[in-house]
Amino acid sequence: MGFVRLVALKMSIKIFLIMIFCLLVSIQCNAEAKMEERNTNLTHTAYDELASKGFPSGLLPNSVAKYFFNKSSGDFSVHLNGRCDIILPPDNYPASFSKTVRGKLTEGYIQELSGIRVKAFFKWWSITGIRSKGEKLVFEVGMVTAEYPSVNFDESPDCGGSSHSSA
C-alpha cells in the first residue's frame, strides 16, 4: 500500500509541475500579446486606423488623446481631451463630440457609432453610422442619410470650429 501512495504522490507532483509550467507559458503569451497591442497603439494613430479602412482623417477632431481598436471585431473607442464642438463642412452644421466616441470600424463602414451629434432643423441628432462610397461619405442618422464629398473631411478640425491638418 505504501508503494501505491508513493507512485500517486510522484504523479501528483508531476501533474502539479506541468500545470505550473502551462500557467507560466500562458502568462508569458498574454504579456507578449499585450505588449504587441501597446506597440501597435504607439505606432498607429486613430487617424491611421480610419485611413486603413477607407476614411479621411478629418472625421475626428485633432484632440484625440488615446484610442483602442480591436482588429478582430472592429470595435473601437476614441478618447478626446474633452468634449469637442466643431462646425461640419460644407453646410456649416454645428456638431459635438463627446469625450468618448465608440463604434465598429470595418472596411468602408463605421457602424454602431455613439458620441457624435449634429444640429440640424433646430434639433440635435446622433450620427449612428458613416459609409465611405468612393469620393463620397454617407452619414447615417437613424434611417435618414446625408451624402457629402469626402474631401470636405481631409483635415481634422480644431475644437471650436476651425480646421487643422491631421498630418
Residue 123 has a pLDDT of: 92
Whether residue 105 is found in the same domain as residue 57: yes
Quick one: 50 exposed, middle or buried, by C-beta within 10 A (0-12, 13-18, 19+)? Answer: buried
C-beta neighbour count of 64 within 10 angstroms: 20
Is the confidence at residue 37, as pLDDT, over 60? no
Q: Note the pLDDT tens digit of each residue in 120-139.
A: 889 999 999 999 998 999 99
Whether residue 27 is found in the same domain as residue 59: no
Whether residue 33 is found in the same domain as residue 53: no
C-beta neighbour count of 42 within 10 angstroms: 8
Whether residue 67 is found in the same domain as residue 21: no
Whether residue 50 is found in the same domain as residue 29: no
Whether residue 100 is found in the same domain as residue 115: yes
Tell me the pLDDT band of 112, cut-offs 50, 70 and 90: very high
Residue 137 has a pLDDT of: 96
CATH number at residue 84: 2.30.240.10
Whether residue 34 is found in the same domain as residue 64: no
Whether residue 78 is found in the same domain as residue 25: no
Whether residue 59 is found in the same domain as residue 110: yes
Nearest to 116 by CA among 147, 94, 91: 94
Indicate the number of domains in the chain.
Answer: 2
Nearest to 103 by CA among 31, 157, 50, 43: 50
Is the confidence at residue 14, as pLDDT, over 80? no
* Mean confidence (pLDDT) of the chain: 82
Residue 142 has a pLDDT of: 84
Q: Note the pLDDT tens digit of each residue in 134-161.
A: 899 999 998 899 999 999 999 999 997 5
Q: State the residue range of the domain holding 15.
A: 1-43
> What's the rounded mean pLDDT across residues 47-60?
94
Tell me the pLDDT band of 84, cut-offs 50, 70 and 90: very high
Residue 7 has a pLDDT of: 56
